[in-house]
Structure formats: C-alpha cells, structure tokens
Amino acid sequence: MNISYYISKRIAKSSTRGYSGTIIKIAIGTIALSIATMILAVSVLMGFKNGISEKVFGFWGHIHITDTKISRTLELTPIENSTALKDSVASIGQIERDSQFDGYEKSQGGVKSINPFIMMPGIIKTKHDDLEGIILKGVNNEYNWDNFNDYLKEGVFPNQTTESKREILISEQTSRRLRVTVGDKLNVYFVKDKDAVKRQFKISGIYRTGLEEYDVKFVFVDMGVLQNVLDWDVSQIGGYEIFIDHINDAEIIADYVYEEILPANLYAQTIRDKFDNLFKWIELQDMNALLLLVLMTIVAIINMSTAILILILERSKMIGTLKALGMSDWGVRKIFIFNALWILSMALLLGNIIGIGMAYIQKQTGILKLDETNYYLSEVPIHFDALALVGVNALTIFITFLVMFIPSFLVTKISPIKILRFE
C-alpha cells in the first residue's frame, strides 16, 4: 500500500474531531455550496436561453424565405406559392456536404415543416370604439400550430371549428386593452391606395407567449383574407417560414436552401439573423453566468487552500518525524494532496446532490416565479445538460487540483530538526 495514501486516510479519520475537523467541515460545506451554485447557474442560464429561444422560434419558425428586395420586415412584396419549392424544402433530411464558403458541413437533422405566410399592418376597432395598431400574420390551413399549443389560453386557433375565414387569434394583452373576449367581433382597417379597407373578424382564441414585444403587436388570421385585401391571387404569399429538427442546424440548412434550391429572386434568412438584437441580448447572459462561475471557483480555491494549510500546520510534528525517518518532501506533500482530494470528493458529492436536487425540484414544481413582463418567462427555467454538468465538475476538479499543490509546498519549508527540537 502507498504509505502516503495510508497516512492520509488515518489523518482524514482523525481530523473529524477538534479544531481542524471543524475547519474541514466548513471547507467541505462552502465548496459544496460553490459547486451547487455553479450547477444551478448553468442550469438556469441554459433554461433561460432555451426557453426564450423556443418562444421566438415557435412564433416565427427557424428560417424565413422571402423576396430578395425586402429590406424591412413588413414590406409587402409577393412571391409565388410554389408546390415544387415547398416539396423540395420539406424533403431536406440530414445535410452532409462541402460548402464552397464554409467547407465541410453536417447537420443533426433536417426540415420539419414549411408554411406560407403574409404579414400586413392594420388597425383594430371594437364596439367600444377602442383602437389598436396591430400586425396581422396570415397563415393557411396547412399551418402547424403544434409549436403554439402551450400559448393558447382561451378558445381555439383560427378556422379550426368552422368553415369561416373571418376568425382571428389575438393576444391576452390586446384582449385586455380592447375589452374583448372569445366570440366577440371586431373590425380591422387596412390602408390600401390611401383608402381604408374594413374587414370584420370573430375572435376564435386568445394567446400569451410572454414575449411582450410580440404579444402587443401580432394577431393571426386566415391568409386568404389578406390576399383579398391586397388583391393578390391565391398563388401569391409574403414568404415561407421553416421549422427544423435541431436549432443548431439553422445556418447550415438556410445556406443549403439558398444555394441549392431557391431561385435568384428569393432569399433564406435565419431568425437569429433577422432578430439579431434579441439573440445578442440572450448571449450577453453568458457573461453573468461566467462571472458567477469564476467567483464560486475562487471561493472553492480559498476554502480548499485554507483547509490544507491548517492541516499542515496542525501536523507539523508528524511532518518533522516523517522527514527525520527519511520520507521525501514529495512523499509528505502527497499525504496532504490525498487529504485535499478527499475533501474535494466529499464537497463534489454533496454539491451535486444539492445543486441537481434543487434544480430538479424547480423544474418539476416551478416554485420560483418570475415577472414575465421583464424576463419573458413566468418561472425560473431549468435545463439539464449532461455535458455542462460534467464540465462544471471537471473544471472544478482540475483548477482545485492544480491550486492545492501551492499550500502543500509549505511542507518543504518545515525543518525536522527545528520541529523536533521544539517538541
């Protein structure tokens, strides 16, 4: 048996009592809390990013195809609703190719669905003479509402229960401000050739995404109504929105669609690029998490170093005796390094139990709530990622292991002659 390891085990057992035992318990507790905090920070950050991204993508899809002349989001430029183009895009599976610009590319999945849409501004007027400027998103009966199911608060989606094309889905905020509810009728006015064009709709449902910027502006109607207002025929649309299997494939699939499928007059753009400011704001949250991780790592290092220093100073007589008996400085240092590893292993075990346990409780119960107006989410989000959890633990072990060599270096400065003479 390794003599350094054997002695470190005896020290670990005997150090559970007395002053050094208290210090070690405090060190284990504080390091465990640091690890738990890091696990919670990473889980909440990833949950926050995923939660907001899912809402945005659920609202817009992952990729938009529009006319190349469009320079603003709501500019009305029609394109042809081509069955051949839709079939080509919908058939995209896993992509593996050598791009002339990006080199070798491979996607995790392919296209889930492709839907035509039209965007058009309008003004809502109710029976109370309340007015509200809105943007109408026109979709057809092929539209996949699965991504929107969680946000439907009342009623049904447009054109789900009747043959009427005059149904409208409005947000909870719009409903509250206009004092209307499911079943009420309202008029929508459009500006066409400097004239006002009126269409009446019946409210089929009310939604809430929590993305206030979208909820206050957007309503959903049948695409045919907007085609009629614009004097477009049934083959003309504003664009396509594409849903894909994996979010990380958006750039690869958008490039592939643009380079291999689309004609020269059409352009494919990811939603990340289209709403760049929102996603940059989301990515800024990484800095907050990084700062917290650094602070918690420093706390763990300080507590580990303090515990090892106290152990060394308390065992100075033992160190002097072992050196006098011929044990090398490295052999003595290994005793305290093994002790540090024991402290770290206990802290890691306890920290993971606390961190993952608290995150799991929050994920299942949603007990901690948020102001959805400010944070876009109604409760603290949690997302478990095995790679991230392993990374937090591995980084903690690596950095702490390197740092623990510094206090153990004190062993080399202890003179056995002075220690034994003093004793």
Question: How much is the pLDDT for 19?
Answer: 66
Question: How much is the pLDDT for 419?
Answer: 55
Question: How much is the pLDDT for 80?
Answer: 92
- Give the pLDDT confidence of 353-386 residue by residue, as tens digits: 999 999 999 999 989 998 887 888 889 999 998 9
Question: How much is the pLDDT for 71?
Answer: 52
3-state secondary structure of 93: coil
- Are 304 and 340 in contact, with CB atoms under 8 Å apart? yes
Question: How much is the pLDDT for 102?
Answer: 66
Question: How much is the pLDDT for 320?
Answer: 72
Angle 401-402-403 from CA coordinates, rounded to 5°: 95
Question: How much is the pLDDT for 376?
Answer: 82
Global pTM value: 0.79
Question: How much is the pLDDT for 349?
Answer: 95
CB atoms within 10 A of CB 272: 21
**Which segments of the chain have a pLDDT < 70?**
1, 4-6, 8, 10-20, 71-75, 99-103, 160-164, 408-423
Question: How much is the pLDDT for 395?
Answer: 87
Separation between Cα atoms, residue 36 and residue 288, nearest integer Å: 16
Tell me the β-bridge partners of 170.
206
Instruction: For 2-145, list the strands marked E by DSSP.
Output: 63-67, 79-80, 96-99, 103-106, 111-125, 131-139
Domain-wise residue ranges, the chain: 3-55+279-422, 69-263
